[in-house]
Structure 1
């Protein structure tokens, strides 16, 4: 599903150049649930931005579902993001003046899906995350855990090939974090490919594979015995 070969990325810092990714080689098969870990400055956010087509590598190759991701103009990148990727963020990134239902339906609007079908699909995914009864509520009327569930429903609504989650439990307490991970594990069990950037070891242990980055290189890439979140909920 994802093939990364010899990926390099540098940024200009005044007169200096900061080499953030130093030859990353990394494959993800369809249906995997992978955690990417590393301390601040390790390159994990840069890698996620490249995977999400929000940034582009200086050298190396990135192939997503058989399609080379290179030299895309913003219009094509946006279309590919909408087609292939669902995003889940630490800060939820919900639109404050729109209901939960409208937030979930937003990616479908950009795909040109008609209103009735958008509403039906959005409601289906709100039901999937256990929030059908909250569909007409605004984000400020929801708890942190509920907001993240809405964000997960929104990420799923466009039926992407891959979910990219950036610290999805970072703003949540432990119990709510495990409830969100229980939901993510269930989505993965249905066959969805999911990558999670996290600095929390207990969250990483709830995936099936942990990739550790340090100073722009992968220092460890191991399959792990998955801890079931439901055992801690």
Structure 2
């Protein structure tokens, strides 16, 4: 599903250049659930931006579902993001003046889906995350966990090939984090490919493989025995 070879990325900082990614080789098969860990400055945010087609590498190749992602103009990049990727953010990124239902339906608007179908599909995914009764509520009427559930429903609405989750539990308490991870694990159990960036070791062990980045290189990439969020929640 994802194939990255010899990926390099540098940024200009004044008169100097900061080499952030230093030859990353990385692949993810369809249906995998992988976490990416690393301290600040390790390169994980840069890698996620490249995977999310929000930035482009200086060297190397990135292939997503058989499509080479290279030299895209913004219009094509946006189309590929809509077609291939769903995003879940730490800060939820919901539109404050739109209801939960309209937030979930938003990606379908950009795909040209008619309003009635958009709302039907959005309600389906709100039901999936247990928030059908909150469909008409605005984000400021929802708890942090509910906001993240809305964000998950929005990410799923366009049926992406890959879910990219950037610190999805970073703004949540432990109990709510595990509830959110239980939903994410269920989505993965249904076959969705998921990449998750986290600082939290317990959250990383709720995936099936952990990739450790340090100073722009992968220092470890190992499968792990997955801890089920539901079990952890009731310990």
Task: Please classify the TM superposition score into its range, dividing by the shorter chain length.
Answer: over 0.9
Counterpart position of 1:14: 14
SS of alignment partner, residue 156 of structure 1: helix
Residue deviations 1:40-73, cap 9 Å, x none? 0000000000000000000000000000000000
Structure 2 CA distance, aligned partners of 1:73 and 1:51?
16
Counterpart position of 1:227: 227
> What are the within-5 Å matches in structure 2 for residues 87-126 of structure 1?
87-126=87-126
Structure 2 CA distance, aligned partners of 1:200 and 1:7?
26
SS of alignment partner, residue 19 of structure 2: strand
SS of alignment partner, residue 27 of structure 2: strand
Runs of 4+ in 1 over 4 A off after TM superposition: none
Structure 1 CA distance, aligned partners of 2:66 and 2:151?
27
RMSD: 0.3
Structure 1 CA distance, aligned partners of 2:175 and 2:37?
21
SS of alignment partner, residue 83 of structure 2: helix
Residue deviations 1:175-207, cap 9 Å, x none? 000000000000000000000000100000000
Post-superposition offset of 1:123: 0.1
1:82 and 2:82 correspond: yes
SS of alignment partner, residue 98 of structure 1: coil
Counterpart position of 1:163: 163
Structure 2 CA distance, aligned partners of 1:73 and 1:53?
11
Structure 2 CA distance, aligned partners of 1:112 and 1:16?
44
Gaps of 5+ in 1: none
Structure 2 CA distance, aligned partners of 1:95 and 1:128?
21
TM-score, structure 2 as length reference: 0.99
Residue deviations 1:66-122, cap 9 Å, x none? 000000000000000000000000000000000000000000000000011000000
TM-score, structure 1 as length reference: 1.00
Structure 2 CA distance, aligned partners of 1:58 and 1:168?
28
1:134 and 2:137 correspond: no
Structure 2 CA distance, aligned partners of 1:216 and 1:79?
29
Counterpart position of 2:2: 2
SS of alignment partner, residue 93 of structure 1: coil
1:176 and 2:169 correspond: no
Counterpart position of 2:154: 154
Counterpart position of 1:30: 30
Post-superposition offset of 1:232: 2.1
SS of alignment partner, residue 23 of structure 2: strand
